[in-house]
Every structure is written in structure tokens, then in C-alpha cells.
Structure 1
């Protein structure tokens, strides 16, 4: 099969497109998925740069967490999926503790059954690939922060993959009383369209100096010192980018397909919208260009690779 892989750490130039990679085998609890579309995430390039060298899998590594595709083979213990099912998911259950050698930037990938869900019928493969890691991270962060109906939230980088879902989940699933979010000038209207009641242009205002304080501050940027300044006296800040002072905590997603299944009705009804960067999709042979763009941190929503191949 064709696959992107690397056998040393470094910048985008360590990525090589191979056409003779053996199709992976599956175990009894896995399915083999023909990948139709994949999404890129910051964790993909951080891994390639050697950030998780202590726990990483052996080389060569095929990068990629998110996929949407079709089940083509089913392990003997698999109960809920069958050949021909259209599925989506994040294939790395514990991305930092147990990164897998076989990611989604390949024609085929073995995936644990529990990490997948049936693709929402109203979304195409390209849209579905944009969802899993981002929506699962946004949801788990809100749950861990004890977010609930009537609470207020500030989302830092509301135009990004996780941030765009954090706004929508807080508003439409959890029932927030007030949703604020930050972005650059050109993305303010986008924040409002996603459900933000207050859209803050971080190029013009320092959100941490404003009088409003929040029950939850969700840091999707990596500005922990600022995040905790916007928390109210009983609130908490949550970070997905690393350590954060009190009253804050950081976490790393534990991926699971049941979360996608639970949120499926909100996606199918259109209450939750998928944000795909306007430059997407990138064709399979342009993965290096796609990563180069992702690493500028200027993307709006998710960067998608489609079709594969």
C-alpha cells in the first residue's frame, strides 16, 4: 500500500511517501479500515519532532490520528462493526503513553473496534475526518472541568479544531449561560457563527485584563499564565498544551468511539458544525505542504488529506 512514513525525527523533510508498505495485519479486537480521508493534528508534528521519544513506537512511523473510511476486514472478536461500514475515529487511544506505529496517512490502517463509530450519514468522509480527535478532546476537557448547564466559559483560540468544538459543545450540548472566545480579527464573525456570545480579538484586547471572569477557561493555545487570570473565584482552567498553574489542570485525551456515538445525533441534526480549513483538502501527495501550513498555526479548523490515495 501507499503510506507516508518517517524513520528519523525532524522537520517535514523526514517524511517519505512509500508505495510498497505491507498492508498491516489486525488482531481479534480490530478492524482494517480503508482510509478515505485523514486529518492532521499538532500532535502529529510534535511526535515527528521527537517530543514523545521516551514512549514512541519503533520506526518507521506512519503518522496520523484521525480518519474516515470503510471497514474492509473484521477481527474475530469484533461485535459492532462489519465489512462495508463507513466509520470514523481517532486511531490512537493514548497518544502520548502508547503511540502506535500505524497511523492514518496510509491506504489501510488497523484500528481497535472501541475507537471507531459509524460515520454520521449527513457528513461526507472529508467532513467526518475533521471531527474525532478535536471533538473528543473538547468534550473530555469540558467533562473534566465539571462544566454543566448555566456555567460560563472562555475558549482561547475558538477558531481552531478543538476550540471550535468547545464553543459549540458548551453552547449546544452542555447548555452554557455564556460563551466567550478569542481569535484574531479576521475570525471574529466565525466565532459568533459557532455560538460565541462574546468574541474577543486578541490582537486588540488582553482577555485576561477584562472585567469578566469565567467558570471555565479552556486554553487551546498554550498561554497558561493568562488563562488562570480569567477564571472566577470558584472556576477552573483546563489546558491541552501542557502544564498550567492553579486553579488549572492539563490532560491528554483518551480516545474512544463511544463519545463519537453519543455526539452523533448533534452532528446529524446540524447543531454541531464541522470546521474545515479553506485550504483543504490537500491531495495525498501534498502531505508535506499540509504539515508546513499546519505548523504556521494559522489554520482555521482542520486540515484534511483527501482522497487517499
Structure 2
């Protein structure tokens, strides 16, 4: 039996009121209604390099600490674009636990110098390309995780800004069927889901149990396991109110953890993907020779640790599944939060009440 530990970089599941959902949630209907949302997103202006001002609006922190260290700054220098980078006009950005853990100083020994503009997930428009960029041009709509190694020297200039500079290899063209809000919520979650399954040796015909199937990561793991890897059977846990959501995602066995213990089931699984920090219990649910993937806390040995690596090629590979509607983003219904409410968005994320991804849109 092998144990795989992944750092918890993305959102974990919490209580969901299904009365607000029809299946997979994208947006809060009170903020953006159908045609209005489409019109707003379609109207995003495509700037050109000559339009880029020397300074931009961004959220910044100068010291590590609680959410109160964040401040809005309209005088941040627009980052220079290196030869293999593109400059992206940020349209939407998503928050992840790694953002506030980094802000709290948990990774300070390997962090870039302060002050920092936070933000990993981005969706936006290319407005300038470096001299060695081959796959993108001005006007391309892209998405991705801007940090190749999220815990090792992440960028000073993140996605919570008007502009961000990103290596070409970390980005992919935005799926045509998604708007910027939906796209911003996918990169870190889908990369974590895919890489975890790949490292676990998951393949067609195998079974999987997803702990926390209604969360930002778990909901994507279900879809990737079923539609990309060809899982023969997908089981997932949630509270009572989220069982129908699990079924809408394609789960074959929805387990109500408030009424039964998944580890006591007679059925065992080839892979258990733990997104909620129940590693010891997960060991009891895996088959002999199976594997446990964890993204929260430590797992008992034997095992190995790896750090998620951002990869635009992975996103490009998964784009057809997204465009065919086989993989759908799960965006928290309270959002998107406007750029002026980044502190409120972080406070909400850190409260543990968020479901799916917390997205910031529009960004000036």
C-alpha cells in the first residue's frame, strides 16, 4: 500500500444547501443573471501592449499575518515580461488555501521577497508576449496557475492585480464553453486532481473513493476519475444535504458520512482520494496493494511526498473534456466577489464555509 501526500493548496468541502443549486453551481444568481453575465463577460475589452500603464491596481501585503495585513494599492508597478512570459490582463482570479497560508508565513523560508501580490489561479487576456513565446499571441484568452511550484519561491506578483506576468508553459487557452469566472476556478483544483490520480497509478477499470466529494478538489476528482481515467466505480462521501450533488457529478455510491462510516464498508477501493484529512481512516478503505492520495495534513508511513507542479500542457490535455461538458467547475454560490471585496472573500474562505472555489471578478 502506498501513501501519497499532496499539500492542501485548494478548497476543501463544506456544507452545501442544495436548494440553491440545479446540479453543478457556477455563480450566485443574485449577482449575475444568465444573459447579463454573458454580456458582462463578453464585453471584456482586449487591450494591447501600448495601452498598458506603468502602474496598476493590486492587493498587497507587506508583512505576514492575518487578513488585515492586506491592502489595496493603485501604484504597484506592472511586472516586466521576460522572454518566455506573457503579460496577462487579469479578468478573474480564484483564491485558494495556499494563498492565506502563504500570507500567514507558513512558507516564508522558501517565499519570494515582500511585499507580495497574492493569487495563484488566473483567467484573462494576453496583451503582450515575450520574444521567445511561440504558442500565444495578443488577444488570446488564457487560464492557469501562475506559479510552477506553489510552495517554492512563488512569484511576488500574483493574480490579484490588473496584470500578471506568466511563463508560457504554465498557461492554456481558456475552454471555449467557460466564461472567465468559471475558468479561474479550475487550474489549481484540476491540476491537483489529475496529478494525484496519475501519481497513484489510477487507470481505467479501477475503483475510487473520494472523501469530501462536494468540495473544490473532490468534485473535480470525481469527474476526472470517471471521464478522463475511466473509473469503473466512483464512491464519494458528503453530508446529507450534498448527496444529490454527488450523484449529479456521476458518483455511483454516495455515502452520507453523518450516518455511516466509510471505513467500515465491506467494499474496498483501488484508490482513496482524501481531500478532508482523514488519512488513517482512508487506509482502512483501500484494497490490499491500493493507494491513498491525501491533500490535507500528514499521512502515516509508508509513503512519499510530492509538490504539485503547475503545467499548462496538462490543462491543454484536459480542455476537450471541459469543452465536452464532462468536467464542470464548482464555484461558490456567494461569488464572484468584486475586486474591492478581496478581504471579505479571504475572510469567507478562511472561515471554512466556502463550497467549491471563491472567485474574484471583475478585476479593474
Which sits farther off after the overlay, 31-40 or 288-297? 288-297
2:276 aligns to what?
221
Contact 1:10 1:48 in 2 (8 A): yes
1:99-138 correspondence runs (5 A) = 99-138=154-193
Match of residue 152, structure 2, among 92, 97, 115: 97
Report the CA distance shift for 1:27/1:19 in structure 2 as closer, same or farther (over 3 A). same
TM-score (norm 2): 0.83
Structure 2 runs not aligned, ≥5 long: 1-55
Residue 209 of structure 1 deviates from its aligned partner by: 2.1
1:16 aligns to what?
71
Contact 1:244 1:250 in 2 (8 A): no
Contact 1:153 1:215 in 2 (8 A): yes
TM-score (norm 1): 0.97
Inter-partner Cα distance in structure 1 for 2:114 and 2:242: 39
Inter-partner Cα distance in structure 1 for 2:241 and 2:229: 27
1:7 aligned onto 2:78: no
- Secondary structure of 1:20's counterpart equals strand
Contact 1:130 1:304 in 2 (8 A): yes
Residue 13 of structure 1 deviates from its aligned partner by: 0.7
Inter-partner Cα distance in structure 2 for 1:250 and 1:304: 29
Match of residue 278, structure 1, among 333, 356, 360: 333
Structure 1 runs not aligned, ≥5 long: none
**Structure 1, residues 224-265: CA drift from partner, whole Å, max 9, x if none?**
212212111120101122431245544321001000000011
Match of residue 48, structure 1, among 103, 110, 113: 103
Which sits farther off after the overlay, 186-195 or 199-208? 199-208
Larger RCO (alpha carbons 8 Å, 6+ apart): 2
1:1-309 correspondence runs (5 A) = 1-246=56-301, 248-309=303-364
Contact 1:120 1:264 in 2 (8 A): yes
Inter-partner Cα distance in structure 2 for 1:18 and 1:201: 45
Inter-partner Cα distance in structure 2 for 1:195 and 1:293: 28
- Report how many aligned residue pairs link the two structures: 309
